[in-house]
């Protein structure tokens, strides 16, 4: 059976890169957020502020229960787990 056209490898490469970013994102845990004149978050025991780099990501916004990250035009979010009854995996 003949191919119907050229394969777009850029879509595949982008999908693979997004999977890599999702894997990296799983390495980060948001422990707490301190709001004030300059919002600060504690991620993996380190303090981060808006516009700071966090691995492949840039911290774009810090909210009371979440940190918004951006990488390669995509937006990701770390959230604080506030449910003490949730089972750990």
Tens of pLDDT, residues 26-68: 999 999 999 999 999 999 999 999 999 999 999 999 999 999 9
| Residues facing 43 on adjacent strands | 30, 46
Task: Annotate 51-62 with b (16+ C-beta within 10 A) or e (fewer).
Answer: ebebeebebeeb
Reference 79, options 18, 22, 29; nearest CA is: 29
Domain ranges of the chain: 9-79
- The answer on pLDDT for 72 being more than 50 is yes
User: Would you state the pLDDT for residue 88?
Assistant: 44
- Dihedral of CA 22/13/58/44: which sign? positive
Task: Annotate 15-25 with b (16+ C-beta within 10 A) or e (fewer).
Answer: eeeeeebeeeb
- Our CA angle for 32, 75, 81, nearest 5°, is 30
Q: In terms of pTM, does the model score above 0.95?
A: no
**What's the mean pLDDT when you consider all of the chain?**
87
Q: Looking at the domain that runs over 9-79, which CATH code has it been given?
A: 2.30.30.830
């Amino acid at each position: 059976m003949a191919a119907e056209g050229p394969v777009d490898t850029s879509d595949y490469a982008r999908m693979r890169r997004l999977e890599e970013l999702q894997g990296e994102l799983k390495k980060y845990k948001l422990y707490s957020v301190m709001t004030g004149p300059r919002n600060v978050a504690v991620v993996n025991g380190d303090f981060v502020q808006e516009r700071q780099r966090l691995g492949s990501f840039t911290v774009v916004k810090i909210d009371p229960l979440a940190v918004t990250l951006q990488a390669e035009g995509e937006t990701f979010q770390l959230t604080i787990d506030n449910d003490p009854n949730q089972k750990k995996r």
